[in-house]
Amino acid sequence: MNERLWNILLDALPKLLRYGAQVTLPLTALSFLLALIIAVAVALIQYANVKVLRQICRFYIWIIRGTPLLVQLYLVFYGLPSVGVMLDAFPAAVLVFGFNEGAYMAETMRGSLESVSRGQMEAGYCVGMNYLQIMVHVVLPQAFRTAFPALSNSLISMLKGTSMASTITVMEMFRQAQVINGRVYESLGLYSEVALIYLLFCTLLTWLQRLGEKRLASYGGAR
């Protein structure tokens, strides 16, 4: 650690943090929100066993889980313009990350829904609730409690995975580190610094995950 490298790292830190806060975290949050919406919708369709839609959902999961995320990014950002569909880099990344993670989270949600006793559906009908009310007030809350740890892990994984958005020119935190390194040629120091920032973000999410699990456990115990 010489004086030059130390000065480079000090100068790069606020820039990396700024891009992390302004691009990486929003990209993660928006992608996760989209993934969660997709996951719940796909899981509910499979849970209700809607024949044609269920097959479409299985096909979507098969395609997404069977192809690399990087290939999906390239198909959307570099491939779609050839058929007239133009997307900016950031929304393209949100769509790809959302649909990619949504396929995995859908299986998590499906398993969580199926872990809820079917007898609770019958009990809901007995007290005059309709299907939608039972799902919203009885089944989904229990499924989310079961799925919470796995969904939290998906969020942490997505945060790290957003570094791949740099391959389609999204100026997020890792891309900014690449730009700085292109000027100063200190790969080991700069990439170690950005790795520590990712570690900091993931540690914070892990702490929030454990806090959430404790709250859910106490809520479940109170019930």
Domain boundaries, the chain: 3-222
Per-residue pLDDT, 216: 83
* Angle, alpha carbons 195-161-142 (nearest 5°): 115
pTM: 0.92
Q: How far is CA 123 from CA 116, 130, 138, in A?
A: 12, 11, 10
pLDDT for 124: 86
Query: What pLDDT shows up at residue 113?
Result: 93
Q: In the prediction, which pLDDT does 11 show?
A: 95
- What was the pLDDT predicted at 219? 66
Q: What is the mean pLDDT of each run of 10 residues along the chain (223 residues)?
A: 89 96 97 97 92 95 96 97 95 97 96 89 86 88 92 96 95 95 94 96 95 81 51
CATH 3.40.50.180 for domain 3-222, yes or no, is: no
> Which residue in the block uniquely carries the two structure tokens 């990087």?
70
